[in-house]
Amino acid sequence: MLNKFKLNKIVQQCTLLSGVAILSACSTDTTDPGEKSVNNDNVEVVILEEGQTADDILNPGDNNGNGGDGGDGGDGGDGGDIVLTDTPETEGASLFVRANDANQNIAGFEFCCGGYDTYQEHEFTNATGDFIELDGGFWGADVAGHIGERVFSSYGDGYDSDDDTTAAQVGASATGSIRSPEFTIDKKYINFLVGGGSNQYGSANTTSVLLMVDNQVVRTASGNNQHNTIDWQTWDVTDYQGKTAWIEFVDMHTDDRSDAGLAYILADEFRAADKAAVQPSANNIVKTSATLTSAPATTGEAAFVRQTDVNQNIAGFEFCCGQFNSYQNHSFRATGDMIKLDGGWWAADVTNHVGERAFSSRTDAFEADGTNLGWLGDAATGSVITPEFVINKNYINFLIGGGTNQYTSDKATAVVLRVNGKIVRHATGNGEENKVDWHSWDVSALNGQQAVIEIIDQHDAAEDDGSLAFVLVDEIRQADRAAAQPIASAVVTSDSGHNQNLVLDLGDPNPFYDNGEYYIYYLENLGFHSWAMAKTSDLLTSSFPQTVLPASGDASKADQWIGSGSVIKAQDGSYHMFYTGHNRDLTPVETVMHAVATDNTLTNWQPIPADTFSGSDGYSDFDFRDPLVFWNEAESKYWMLITTRYQNKAAIGLYTSENLTSWSAQPPLYTETSNLNLEVADYFELDGTPFIVFSDQRDDSRQVKVLTKQNDAWVLANNSALDGRAYYAARTAGHADERLLFGWVAHNFGRKDGANPDWGGDLMVHQVKLKDGELAVDLPEKLRTGLAKTMVTDSVFSEGSASATATGFDLQAQSLTTLAASDVKNRWSFKLSSSNADAKFGLALVKPLAEGGDKRAYVELDAANNQAKFYFNADENNQFNPKVSLPLDAASGIDCELIADPEAGVAALYLNGYRALSFRLYELKDYQIGFYSTADAVSVTDLNRYSH
């Protein structure tokens, strides 16, 4: 046995020499408080690890998640042998009963067929979500291990409403929760059968059975991911004798393939007994309190590190003075105003801070050109997402201060932990302006999982809601001891609130369609361009982006940087990713790499180094990138299109394979005389007509273009550019009835309107279709149906002579009218016409300025020259202005649709359902949008405006 008093004295008296495990000036005995000599036969000498304190040794925490000071902590029993029963199905008594019919076995779910809300009619309570639809116990004939006839099933039969007369399975995507009747714990054990998903309480996508005592979760149990199989589990509840309790059934898994677990829960036969069905598992104990460390600032380790400098304490925000984009240059991802922050903020005036710096969402900021913006202030909004890390300790400890609005608020000042893109923990500030306090999350249920922490400030201080409009954070650490008692309400168990608006700051998108969803794989617009992914089914919202294939960042490896590629579902049903490895200091500079999916989430990929190859048979190995792989049915082979060079020309190269492992070079599909390249080529067919789309890298013709096949040759189509130069790196995905084109609208340097374009941008999605036999782009039908709430179309500003009509406006020559600005995604439909077939007119975008005057931009439709162009006032001839050519006849009229996304700062005008003109406008939310005329009168008809 360890003599704690003597150990404490030894720790106080002994010094660990720097870098050497030697104790100096340590006595073999010591003195007790009465100054009497004490023999030290039972004294252990312990050398403290870095960050460890004497308190950590004297009051050891239980690292397997079984307890802590002041909590139930142990196995719940008296330490004696656990007696197992051979007949758990009859041992003891039903755990809970129906007051109106004590003989009915509702604890075995032997009730059914009451229609909508059957469970609550049988004295279960607090039904949420789809559980209110359940029709009682589910017929268990196909469930291995069931007792009696019926079981609890979260995917079972149900009804939509009281009026519904046809039962149907609610399905694995159903979510909800429900409580059993209350009962008194009067036996040592609770035995029951459970199956389905394995996500315990505290995990993302919880599928669990919970024991609730004193309104706290004290025990949890889940299935083992075996389909339609249930097994016995036992909770030791000795410590809760005499307590009132209930069972809660929770399924928050939407079957969205965000993890590999089954998306439902099964349960059966809950019984109270003095013999256990099986050995109770320590993993089923939910701690109600934690053992605290006395030195949280040094206990454990930094929660995450910087890829290029693991010794820099970015988890303590000890970096600074990189000016614009400092956070993204230090492995974080930043949105909104946070991209302007100058790194960690000097925290001398912040009580309890650690080190020199802390995160502040309102601190010093810079423009990209080095302009010092000074103190950004409370109006700043945005988010900062940490590098991904593996949870390997029981707690995440951090300091937090500032605003108190939870992540669910539209003025959130919060910190959240995300696993599989889902929010699993949350915290807010303490309401203090210059003070941070320790906060701890119990993450023992998440051990071994990948995670990120998101710091959120959506409070722009425009309205005073009583909360501070900023957030402070410092010293995020993982440890096996808590810095403060974890708060039960910090655990997020919900099937909603995890997604985001579909706004992606990205490099090249590489979309893939599967199982009714678009998987938008893309190059991260930061770091070494790791691959990330977000899913969408409606083009309005998406899952939270996750890094799915990290670049190594290693200067000695071919994948130091990674580039574009593609994902394919092979003929055998397996999933494969092909991508570019890039390292300018190696030969070859660029290689094609191969990885395979390890589960159905399509977020976990295993590279196959042996399959790496580069250009051969006349193809360049310097430019050899953007592999597009698909099954060519006519050729009965896999084809791979490659961005490369061939005989000193820009080429769309071709390789073929029968097995996705060995590839053979074939003659290029298309070449051009160009000093640059034909990037991210894509091949698809619409109604049997093949097309190739590529992005022309040359500055003077940088557009997404289309090739058509004439005889056996690929040639540029008429009006070959699908959009203007702001739109780039576009590839398609979809199915027979819908094919979408995913590209980016270029950022400008410094994220400033009017500056020159930069690499990467914000996502813009067009729909491709056939129009008179040609490839056309149009507004996606999903956005027409998703943005259907009518908005006001009244004029708020006019110049010249503009008058409202029944369906729009009439503008005389040299006139202008605008509608109100909007800060939400909105779409427009209208028709523009003039008596002069060659008239020039278009859209006017006007931002009123507080000091008077305004900023203006225009989308000019020049029918005489068959061209549409976007430009800022007085900058009409800028070579970087996006423009697109197409037939225009003002007398016949031009059918237009506009999509405006203020959050992303991008918009696109669709013309005659044939071509698009995308443009960048960071301040779009402040711009009124309307119409203008030049030398000829213009009519605006069939005007409508819609939002979500």
Non-local (6+) Cβ contacts of 347 within 8 A are: 353, 355, 356, 357, 358, 360, 474
Nearest to 813 by CA among 831, 830, 835: 835
Asked if residue 888 is part of any domain, the answer here is: yes
Q: How many CA atoms lie within 13 A of 312 on its CB side?
A: 15
The enclosing domain of 794 has a CATH number of 2.60.120.560
CA dist 931 and 815 (Å) reads 8
Is there a single domain that holds both residue 756 and residue 795?
A: no
The Cα–Cα gap between 291 and 42 comes to 25
Q: Report whether 296 contacts 480 (CB < 8 A).
A: no
Cα distance between residue 198 and residue 109, in whole Å? 21
Q: How many CB atoms lie within 10 A of CB 376?
A: 22
Q: Give pTM, 2 decimals.
A: 0.91
Which of the four pLDDT bands, split at 50, 70 and 90, describes residue 48?
low
- Let me know whether 846 and 725 are in one domain: no
On whether the CB atoms of residues 838 and 947 are closer than 8 A, the answer is no
According to DSSP, the residues that pair with 179 across neighbouring strands are 125, 248
Q: Look at the block and give the residue holding tokens 């009123």.
A: 848
**Is the confidence at residue 4, as pLDDT, over 70?**
no
**The residue to which tokens 């104990």 are assigned:** 285
DSSP 734-755: EETTEEEEEEEEEEEGGG-TTS
Do 241 and 152 fall within a single domain? Answer: yes
The span from the CA of 865 to the CA of 457, in Å, is 47
Start-end of H helices in 386-500: none
Least confident of 57-71, 167-181, 419-433, 513-527: 57-71
pLDDT in tens, 143-153: 999 999 999 99
Does residue 45 sit within a domain?
Answer: no
Pick the range with the lowest mean pLDDT from 69-78, 144-153, 719-728, 872-881: 69-78
Average pLDDT over residues 764-775: 98
Provide the domain limits for residue 866: 787-947
Does pLDDT of 10 surpass 60? Answer: no
Q: Do both 548 and 477 map to the same domain?
A: no
* Averaged pLDDT for residues 389-408: 98
| pLDDT-wise least confident of 35-39, 56-60, 737-741 | 35-39
DSSP designation for 314: G
Q: What's the pLDDT score for residue 180?
A: 99
Q: Which residues pair with 915 in a beta bridge?
A: 911
pLDDT > 80? residue 54: no
* DSSP structure class, residue 10: H
337 phi, psi to nearest 5 deg: -70, -15
Q: CA dist 437 to 293, 431, 433, 452, 472, Å?
A: 14, 10, 12, 21, 10
What was the pLDDT predicted at 802?
98
Dihedral sign, Cα of residue 436, residue 438, residue 442, residue 444: positive
Q: Between 493 and 43, where is the model more confident?
A: 493
Of 782, 800, 829, which marks where a domain is finished?
782
- Is residue 756 within 8 A of residue 749, CB to CB? The reply is yes
In a domain, 56, yes or no: no
Distance CA 443, CA 295 (A): 19
Domain boundary among 449, 476, 497: 497
| Residue located via tokens 């320590």 | 282
Contacts of 222 (CB under 8 A, 6+ apart): 194, 196, 197, 198, 199, 200, 207, 208, 209, 265
* Residue 6 backbone class (left: φ over 0; alpha: ψ -120 to 50; beta: rest): alpha
**Alpha-carbon span 432 to 849, nearest angstrom:** 35
Cα Rg for the chain, rounded, in angstroms? 32
pLDDT tens-digit profile of 682-723?
Answer: 999 999 999 999 999 998 889 999 999 999 999 999 999 999
- What digits encode the pLDDT tens for the residues 364-386? 999 988 999 999 999 999 999 99
pLDDT value for 58: 53
> What band does 81 get if pLDDT is binned at 50, 70 and 90?
confident
Q: pLDDT class for 45, splitting at 50, 70, 90?
A: low
Residue 932: exposed, middle, or buried by beta-carbon count in 10 A (0-12, 13-18, 19+)?
buried
**Interatomic CA distance for residues 155 and 228, integer angstroms:** 11
Is residue 146 within 8 Å of residue 225, measured between CB atoms? Answer: no
What pLDDT shows up at residue 56?
A: 56
The verdict on 684 and 667 lying in the same domain is yes
Q: Are residues 853 and 809 in the same domain?
A: yes
Residue 175, token pair as written in the block = 């979510």
> How many residues comprise the chain?
948
Query: Are residues 522 and 658 both part of a single domain?
Result: yes
Q: Which of 782, 810, 838 is the last residue of a domain?
A: 782
- Cβ atoms within 10 A of the Cβ of 843, count? 25
What pLDDT is attached to residue 63?
Answer: 40
9 pLDDT exceeds 50? no
Instruction: Give a yes or no: residue 493 inside a domain.
Output: yes
495 — phi, psi (to 5°)?
A: -100, 5
Q: What is the 3-class SS of 756-773, one letter each residue?
A: CEEEEEEEEEEEEEEECC
Q: Residue type at 883?
A: K
Q: DSSP string of 29-69?
A: SEE-TT--EE--TT----PPPTT--HHHHHS---TTS---T
Q: Are 756 and 871 in the same domain?
A: no
| CA–CA gap between residue 615 and residue 462 (Å, rounded) | 56
Residue 726 lies in a domain: yes
In this prediction, residue 699 carries a pLDDT of 87
Average pLDDT over residues 159-183: 97
Instruction: Write the burial class of residue 321 (CB in 10 Å: 0-12 exposed, 13-18 middle, 19+ buried).
Output: exposed
Instruction: Please check whether residue 398 is in contact with residue 472, taking contact to mean a CB–CB distance below 8 angstroms.
Output: no
pLDDT tens-digit map of 241-293: 999 999 999 999 999 999 999 999 999 999 999 999 999 999 999 999 999 99
Instruction: Tell me if 508 is assigned to some domain.
Output: yes
Query: Does residue 7 surpass a pLDDT of 80?
Result: no
Main-chain phi, psi angles of 701, to 5 degrees = -145, 35
Measured between alpha carbons, how far is 880 from 758 in angstroms, rounded to an integer?
Answer: 11
pLDDT at 12 over 50: no
On average, the pLDDT of the chain sits at: 93
Tokens of 751: 């994220």
The Cα 777–Cα 754 span in angstroms is: 26
Q: What is the tens place of the pLDDT at every residue in 878-892? A: 999 999 999 999 999
Question: For the domain that residue 409 is a member of, what is the CATH number?
Answer: 2.60.120
Would you say the C-alpha torsion 927, 928, 931, 933 has a positive or negative sign?
Answer: negative
Together in a domain, 451 and 514: no
Measured CA to CA, the distance from residue 732 to residue 685 in angstroms comes to 11
SS3 490: helix
Which residues of 393-489 form beta strands (DSSP E)?
395-402, 413-419, 422-428, 437-442, 450-457, 471-479
How many C-beta atoms lie closer than 10 Å to residue 331's C-beta?
20
Count Cβ atoms below 10 Å from residue 418 Cβ, excluding itself.
Answer: 23
Amino acid at 427: A
Is residue 421 within 8 Å of 498, Cβ to Cβ?
A: yes
Domain-located, residue 5:
no
Do 492 and 509 lie in one domain? The reply is: no
Residue 95 has pLDDT above 60, yes or no: yes
For the chain, percent of residues with pLDDT exceeding 90 = 91
Our CA angle for 98, 101, 103, nearest 5°, is: 95
Query: Are residue 484 and residue 508 in the same domain, yes or no?
Result: no
Q: Are 725 and 751 in contact (CB under 8 A)?
A: no
Q: Which CATH number goes with the domain that contains 245?
A: 2.60.120.260
858 with 940, same domain: the answer is yes
Three-class SS of residue 536? strand
- Structural domain count, the chain: 4
75 assigned to some structural domain: no
> What proportion of the chain, given as a percentage, has pLDDT over 70?
92
DSSP tag of 917: E
Instruction: Tell me whether strands 333-336 and 422-428 are parallel, antiparallel or unpaired.
Output: unpaired
Sign (positive or negative) of CA dihedral 307, 309, 310, 313: negative
Give the mean pLDDT of 848-854: 95
